Amino acid sequence: MISRFSKAFLFIVLLLFLLGSIVLLHPPSRAYIDPWTGDLFGEGGVEKELQHPAGTGGKAVHGGVIMSKLGNATAKAELGRATWKLLHTMTLRYPEEPTQDQRDALDSYFHLFSRLYPCGECAAEFQQLLKNYPPQTSSRRAAATWLCFVHNQVNARLHKPDFDCANLDATYDCGCGDEPVGSSAPAVQAENDPMDMETDPSKDATTGVGMIKGGR
């Protein structure tokens, strides 16, 4: 008769043998993602059979609202005014004859915007507007007119007067013209530009010593 100790010993040996066989037959995957190309690599090169991580489409673009409710009414109003200025200026600068890639980019932007807008309840309303009135991206005029219509849908709910869509250019004229991005003309940077993150206007550019403010 085999003792209990012998039975336990044989069981452990058999179990270790089985585990070792599984490891040898199915070695662990050592795949990693190239941060520059997004390709999945393994020990044998690019992993053809593995799926790439989800891109910016699908659920990432058309998902639900991410932000929580914004309770501060003053902050909500200021955010709204700044946002409408951004969106109207963007559609007024949109290409007259956009490519399919540019059209997809604008459509994705509005849907991602509806997820990430800092005011959660406002974002939920904007998502409903996108469902009822999908973004028009075929031209600059189409995009600008569509956004103005959506703006007036919000104004109607807030019991505000309609926005004059015929004077969008005058209201949101950024003064930047339509000069191509690759233009060779040198850019003129305003002195003490607050958007220049590499310089501190409060300090002397040579010595780095803090400037003395004048006035009373």
Instruction: Look up residue 35 and give its two tokens.
Output: 């941060």
For the chain, the domains span 75-171
Is the pTM of the predicted complex or chain greater than 0.85?
no
Query: Which helix (H) or strand (E) element contains residue 78?
Result: helix 73-92
Instruction: Look up residue 49 and give its two tokens.
Output: 């059979």
| pLDDT value at residue 47 | 41
> d(Cα 113, Cα 95) in Å, to the nearest integer?
20
Fold of 75-171: Four Helix Bundle (Hemerythrin (Met), subunit A) (1.20.120)
- Reading the chain (216 residues) residue by residue, the pLDDT tens digits are 567 767 777 777 777 776 666 655 555 444 444 444 444 444 444 444 444 344 445 678 889 999 999 999 999 999 999 999 999 999 999 999 999 999 999 999 999 999 999 999 999 999 999 999 999 999 999 999 999 999 999 999 999 999 889 888 888 877 776 665 555 555 455 455 544 545 555 666 666 666 555 544
| pLDDT value at residue 14 | 73
